[in-house]
Amino acid sequence: MTLAAQPQTVLTDEITTGADYEIVRRVIETISENYRDQPSLEALAASVGMTPTALQKLFTRWAGLSPKGFLQAVTLDHARRLLASDLPLLDTAYELGLSGPGRLHDLFVTHEALSPGEFKAKGEGLTLRYGFHVCPFGLALVMVTDRGLAGLAFCDPGGERDALADMQGRWPRATYLEDLAATAPYAARVFDPANWRADRPLKVVLIGTDFQVSVWNALLKIPMGKALAYSDLAREIGRPDAPRAVGAAVGANPISFVVPCHRAVGKTGALTGYHWGLTRKKAILGWEAGQLHPS
DNA sequence: ATGACATTCTTGT
DNA sequence: ACAAGAATGTCAT
């Protein structure tokens, strides 16, 4: 797959975006494995067979920030700074949402939980429409009900089957329909910051146990560019002794990215596990840093 | 730095 | 009902 035989000109936007992610993903992987050595742009470019300038351009277009800047964003130091910014943030940016049943964060999300009956039936009688869409982090599997967004998962090209199976395992009795027309608007809304507007709230449906839903609620309160330790989350929901259970609940979050599970980090600021791959967690964090400080 | 273990919730049998 | 596991945290080497 190395020869330059592909006719670049006929590739659609979507396909190039997917291919771009693959390159960027490998670069990010390299950066996060060797960030101590501060790999140079030249070395990074060589590792993916590109010229330094081409990689610089591609990476910056993707992340809104240079490989160098990304390297810094992924560093332990940076994650620690996110943590250092104290807890008060939890209630501040967020008073406005009190009027309605909903919660707000950067994406202007309103949510409702599924009724206990509906949940216990493991999705029985629920119709989930799904579709795969290209996004900045590879392929996104979007699942919606008539009440709003219910699931968001990631995969690499070729992994569609596994991703779908993973989601279907969560609600085995639900009916699944492929319906790109239904899911496309959600994909566009979620991954384009220009669409994060209060007058177009994103409706999501949280399907989980009480404990899980309370953890996901706490996650929704973390603003973009901030992070919280699992133990802080545990305190936030009033179970200071259950950081481990919180970790499990965070990992079970069916709507990744929208429910910002990537903003939960270890007590020390270390980036810990991620259901859809640690590399992707770093990619998302770096991408958010780029949205925050456009260069 | 490494490893054992404490602790809470979920899930499969 | 029970046992095992999980995207953790802490304390002892």
* Dist. CA A218–CA A205, nearest whole Å: 15
Specify whether A155 is catalytic.
no
Chain A residues 138-197 with Cβ under 7 Å of strand B are: 169
A277 touches strand C (CB under 7 A): no
Please, are residues A215 and A113 in contact by the beta-carbon 8 Å criterion?
A: no
Q: What phi, psi does A293 have (nearest 5°)?
A: -125, 70
| Number of other residues whose CB lies within 10 A of the CB of residue A223 | 17
Cα dihedral A197, A291, A284, A88 sign: negative
Residue nearest to nucleotide C5 (CA to C1'): A248
- A233: nt with nearest C1' to CA: C8
Q: Does strand B come within 7 Å of the CB of A209?
A: yes
* Cα A108 to chain centroid, rounded: 15
Written as six digits, the tokens of A69 are 């800047």
Strands A175-178 and A127-135: parallel
Nucleotides on chain B that have an atom closer than 7 A to a protein CB are: 6-12
Give me the pLDDT at residue A1, please.
Answer: 40
pLDDT of residue A105: 57
- Spacing of A263 CA from C5 C1' in Å: 23
pLDDT tens for chain A, residues 1 to 295: 433 333 333 334 445 566 778 888 889 888 877 877 888 999 999 999 999 999 999 998 887 788 998 888 877 667 777 775 554 444 443 333 333 333 445 677 787 777 777 777 777 778 999 999 998 888 999 999 988 999 999 998 888 999 999 999 888 888 999 999 999 999 999 998 888 887 788 888 888 888 999 999 889 888 887 889 999 999 999 999 999 999 999 999 999 999 999 999 999 888 888 999 888 898 898 888 888 766 5
Q: Write down the pLDDT at residue A151.
A: 93
Q: What is the value of pTM for the model shown?
A: 0.84
Q: Which of residues 168-197 of A touch strand C (CB under 7 A)?
A: none
Q: What is the DSSP letter of A280?
A: H
